[in-house]
Amino acid sequence: MATGWRQIKMLPAAMLIAVAMLIPGERAAIAQTATSSAAPASSSHLKTLLAHLQRHYQETDSFQANFKETVTRTGAPPRDRTGVIYYRKPGRLRWEFQEPQPETIVSDGSLIYDYDPGLNQVVETPLKSAFKSQGVAAFLLGVGNLGRDFKASPVASAPADGLEYLALTPKGGGDRIELGVDPQSYNIMTLALTDSLGNRTQLQFSGFQRNLELDPKLFAFTVPAGADIVKPGSS
């Protein structure tokens, strides 16, 4: 099986990048809440933050951003990759990973294709069955709800790097997602997932462009000549 198949477990991150840049009118309101709150990680603060993030998600139809991915696996040195992500509602997604391990992940709204050029192998799976949580899949399809689908909590032992940290756990089951939020702009600057084996995938984002016209061809995938096709779960 292609090593890239493991990346599909990381895709919940993609749904939350849609909330990465708050709409201009909301920044002052959230900043005031954070400043006046004696406990930044209080329940009321988390609810306020989630409400603003949800509104921004609903008003975002597409985006493009650069990313740096760091994968840390138990007993192995960290692995870094960079690339570009594109997203358009409903359910269209494209990750382009660059060297040293190129990879392309495309969702056309129905199927997810994960292409590993080193193996010349494509892992193909239905979008709705690619996630442990239906709530997580709903975010990619454009009908997600943070309060309904996730449990929010503060992050223990968060780095002292000037960011505000928030954890989201899918109520329907799935890996915990940690967000690092800029307290001035409230942009999501980092996003990390840790699986049940202790493997950690961290993403750092930059260069966001929101609600732009994206070429439909970005979300269409043609299987390369001679590539093996793997369909997990098929007999």
* Arithmetic mean of pLDDT, 224-231: 92
Q: What is the pLDDT of residues 56-111, one digit of tens each?
A: 677 778 888 898 989 898 888 998 999 998 988 888 889 899 988 899 999 998 89
Q: Exposed, middle or buried: residue 48 (CB in 10 Å: 0-12, 13-18, 19+)?
A: middle
Q: Given a cut of 90, is residue 228 above it in pLDDT?
A: yes
Q: What is the pLDDT of residues 13-47, one digit of tens each?
A: 333 333 333 222 333 333 333 333 333 457 787 77
Q: What is the pTM of this model?
A: 0.74
Compute CA 102 distance to the chain's CA centroid, rounded to the nearest angstrom: 19
Q: In what order do the strands lie in the sheet with 228-230?
A: 150-154, 164-170, 176-181, 188-194, 200-210, 62-72, 79-88, 92-97, 103-108, 111-116, 121-126, 228-230
Q: What is the pLDDT of residues 138-172, one digit of tens each?
A: 666 666 777 787 888 888 888 888 887 888 887 87
- Report for 31-40, 123-132, 180-189: range of highest mean pLDDT: 123-132
- What one-letter code names the amino acid at 230? V
3 state SS for 146-174 = HHHHEEEEECCCCCCCCCEEEEEEECCCC
Superfamily of domain 3-221: Lipoprotein localisation LolA/LolB/LppX (2.50.20.10)
Our CA angle for 167, 161, 20, nearest 5°, is 50
The conformation of residue 10, written as its DSSP 8-state character, comes to: G
Out of 123-132, 150-159, 192-201, least confident range: 123-132
Are 163 and 202 in contact by the 8 Å Cβ rule? The answer is: no
Handedness of CA 193, 201, 18, 21 (dihedral sign): positive
For the chain, give every domain's residue range: 3-221
pLDDT of the residue at 187: 66
pLDDT of the residue at 199: 84
Q: Exposed, middle or buried: residue 12 (CB in 10 Å: 0-12, 13-18, 19+)?
A: buried
Are 34 and 45 in contact by the 8 Å Cβ rule? The answer is: yes
